[in-house]
Chains A and B, each alone.
Chain A
Amino acid sequence: MSRLLALLVSLLLALPAAAQSVVTTDNVRAELLSEVSQVKAGEPFWVALRETMRPHWHTYWKNPGDAGQPTDIAWKLPAGVTADPIVWPAPTKIDVSGVVNYGFEGDILLLVKITPPADFSGSTLSLAADAHWLVCSDVCIPEEGKFSLSLPVGPAATPADPATRALFDAARRQVPTESPWPSRFGVAPSGDPILVVDAKGLKPDTIRDVYFFPAEWGPVANMAKQTAHVTASGIRVPLKKGDAKAATPQQLAGTLVLSEKTGDGEHRQAFDIMARFDPTVATDAASSAASDAEALSLWRALAFALLGGLILNLMPCVFPVLAMKAASFVRLAGHSRTEIRRDGIAYTAGVLTSFGLMAAAVLAIRAGVGEVSWGFQFQSPIFSLLVAYLFFVVGLNLSGVFEVAGRFTGLGQGLAGRGGLTGAFFTGVLAVVVATPCTAPFMAAALGFALSQPAPQTVAVLLALGLGLALPYLVLAFTPTLQRLMPRPGAWMDRLRQFLAFPMYASAVWMIWVLTQQTGADGVLYALGGMVLIAFAIWLLRLGAPISRTVWLRRGLASIAVLLAFAAALKLEDQPATAASAAGGPSTGVSFDGWERFSRARLDEAVSARKPVFVDFTAAWCITCLVNDRVALDTAVTRRAFEETGTVKLKGDWTNRDPEITATLNEYGRAGVPLYLYWAPGADRPKILPQILTEASVVATLTSNQQAKR
């Protein structure tokens, strides 16, 4: 009863204020709203001018574009009370017969923060606003309204009714977030600015309708169309220069808007951009699709690739193979020049063929998945395991545990020992296979460029890398003078060979470490067990004379041992490959600060313990996920709500398509992230939250059952 009375009283009190806070013109219904129904002195609060436009009519953003004028609010406030500038929602592009305007259609809230002084003494706070706006369809009409709002001042701020709060909550979601990525701009020789947003690891296929709204008239022409290029290394927006005659500004401010396709539809996201001037952006203007951070030109990338290939010869994982090559070269001394040349060419061909195949694989994967980072092969634990085996077997060979016989050529290991051109060719292949894990850290720039380029450039850069790798031997093969400098064959060659086994074992150790990053500790068990089996198989094969009664038995056992070793690889397939691989997975990963890693077991445990559980399925390349994190999940208010409700926070990182997460997504009918699930305490089914979160909606979800419990 008393509640009802209070409601009636508050309604009566609210009525006069409400009546003055709405202005209806021919084309716009405008209303001044407050997010609080009672104000506390010294505590800032938000008000908003809500504009509801007639269909097909629009008002304007802070930069109205080619024509028009933004809404302007002149405040009349009691002494000491301040009003901040309008916080604008992200604009839309409105094309009126080719004249491009930036503005709003439908229903918008222009947010303004009001701060009453701490020593505010009145019992009511009266806000008066004189607002002017230009509203246009194909014709324009200037309109105005005078608004006033009286809010009681009390010991605590009181939130307004839920409907009004919901309006503010939705409005905040329309406001651009600060860009999570750094951005730069350059000026092309034509004078046209180019904006680069260093948003690494995005999925170009999922992003559409990228548009940069400059914050003010001058540096950028509004009417020119924008064709943004989205690649895995970022977003590049070539712009047209505007009419301002000023010298190059130091900063380019504006709002970047894009649509991202997520699991359940398309979401529009907006980011405030403050790009700093960077002269290197423009040097790359010629290649329209390029957007690499280093902004390499093709020629520089090729030069770097060649140099990088040369340096690869000195890498610990490649060096042994090449030393083997060198040793075989020494043996060739005394052979005819033609033969030596052929050997060099065959080796180079092996290297280039391997790089060519790799380029083909990159292109195929890019066509299928859309984005490749170097070292992508190492995201597969099977690949890591096989390379570890290969290093190990090559090491054993170098140690002299076994010699390569004609029949024992399965993996191409130790083929350098084989005479002839085939041997030389496969040494080249082997060099490339063992070189790949070494490439990432040294070749990041050139490879990053290669992978973000159209097909011909990708192939060219990879081949240049291969040529660099093969070049020293090619030069050696064609230069008799250099050959004469080579030491004579002798016992040192065997000693060197045996010594070189150790870098090979070290490389195998490193590969196993990479594997553990992908599979956890179990990977070590399978990998080392597999190596024992392989060593055992080799020992079996070397037992006794080549022709004996037990040869078939030994061969059979050896085959079983090798099969078991490879079965370990299949076992690894079931392991979740979660963490980014050491050899160049996504570098900017998902942050787990304050979150537990998602696993099905942990989820089931928490749910069956009747704890509230919140699950966030995300990925480093998902923009919508990122924005939700920033505006709704990792804010102070939400963190407090998580803490107070004792909610178990699980985060699933789907950056590398973890199969366990994929299965969970499928279970809830999703093909991708984001997906947000909430289990109330004791609930056996989760609540599926929308893909666009707001702070208020998350807090409401977390606290709803708290209230129900009471």
Chain B
Amino acid sequence: MSNTVVHRRAVLLASAALIVAPMAARAAADVGGSAPVFTATDSNGKTWSLAELHGKIVVLETTNHDCPYVGKHYRSGNMQAQQREAAAAGVVWFTVASSAPGKQGYVTAAEANEIVAAHHAAPAAVLLDPESRIARAYGATVTPHMYIVDASGVLVYKGGIDSIASTDIDDIPRAKQYVRAALAELQAGKPVTDASTRPYGCSLKYAGSA
């Protein structure tokens, strides 16, 4: 992405490219295009591959259990409720732990399971993504950053869990729940109205400086 534009000020660009390097693999996933495929191991040691889930709707939820925005949706029970609704409708919901080791939100498999138990959460699986590969492939910038892949493998939603960017639980009933609405539209065979919304949350904890 950044290498093709180097003609002039090569030194400057080269140094910029170094900084941007973590971004290079990202910024690909666009609504309406193929969702980037991935294979990952969950907190129980099971391997999941997006390609093998063809025919099913898949939800991705990036997480960092210490992020106050993630906390808002788990303390309120909003996230767990939507996970259960999705499971009941045959949707595969992945909670993706993409924080790099040493960063806030990094979890071992055991820790991930403890958190699921403590929150009474109900995802199909917690995918362990310590190298942030899934997050990079989808261009995730925050936690929670939400994605929906339809049964044919097309990315049909990316953005926030809902419409009010805050850490205040009281805002949840007032907000439009984008993911819930999108899943309802998908199941009714309709196109997703709000297919790309502003994600909000803590910055995703990629490996690297700062």
Contact = CB atoms under 8 A, between A and B. Distances in A.
A69 B199 CA distance: 11
B22 to A, nearest CB: 4
A353 B191 CA distance: 65
B67 interface: yes
A288 B4 CA distance: 13
B13 A227 contact: yes
Contact of A69 (B7, B159, B200): B200
B67 to A, nearest CB: 6
A97 B167 contact: no
Interface residues of A, number: 32
Interface stretch (A133-141, A559-567, A618-626): A133-141
A96 interface: yes
Given A66-B141, A69-B165, A138-B205, A98 B68 contact: no
A227 B5 contact: yes
Contacts of A139: 66-67, 104, 202
A67 B165 contact: no
Contacts of A95: 19, 210
B63 to A, nearest CB: 14
Interface in B193-210: 195-196, 198-210
Contact of A98 (B13, B22, B202): B22
Given A66-B142, A97-B205, A140-B202, A223 B23 contact: yes
A98 B206 contact: yes
Q: Is the interface of B mostly helix, strand, loop or mixed?
A: loop
Given A138-B103, A141-B68, A99 B204 contact: yes
B187 interface: no
4 nearest A-B residue pairs (beta carbon): A67-B203, A97-B208, A66-B141, A98-B22
Given A141-B68, A142-B68, A221 B27 contact: yes
B27 A224 contact: yes
A67 B165 CA distance: 10
Contacts of A66: 141-142, 203
A34 interface: no
Contact of A101 (B167, B200, B203, B205): B203
Residue among B19, B27, B141, B165 having the largest count of chain A Cβ atoms under 10 Å: B141
A44 to B, nearest CB: 30
Contacts of B209: 97
Interface residues of B, number: 44
Nearest to A137: B210
Contact of B104 (A98, A132, A138, A217): A138
Residue among A134, A224, A289 having the largest count of chain B Cβ atoms under 10 Å: A134
Contacts of B208: 97-98
Residue among A138, A140, A217, A225 having the largest count of chain B Cβ atoms under 10 Å: A140
Contact of B159 (A138, A243, A288): A243
A243 B197 CA distance: 7
Given A97-B209, A227-B13, A245-B195, A68 B158 contact: no
Contacts of A223: 23, 26-27, 139, 141
B206 A225 contact: no
Contacts of A227: 5, 13, 16
B137 interface: no
B175 interface: no
Contacts of A16: none
Nearest to A246: B196
A181 B196 CA distance: 33
Nearest to A221: B27
A97 B207 contact: yes
A217 B199 CA distance: 9
Interface in B1-57: 2, 5, 7-8, 13, 16, 19-20, 22-23, 26-27, 31
B166 interface: yes
Nearest to B105: A139
A226 to B, nearest CB: 10
A218 interface: yes
A690 to B, nearest CB: 30
Interface string A471-504: 0000000000000000000000000000000000
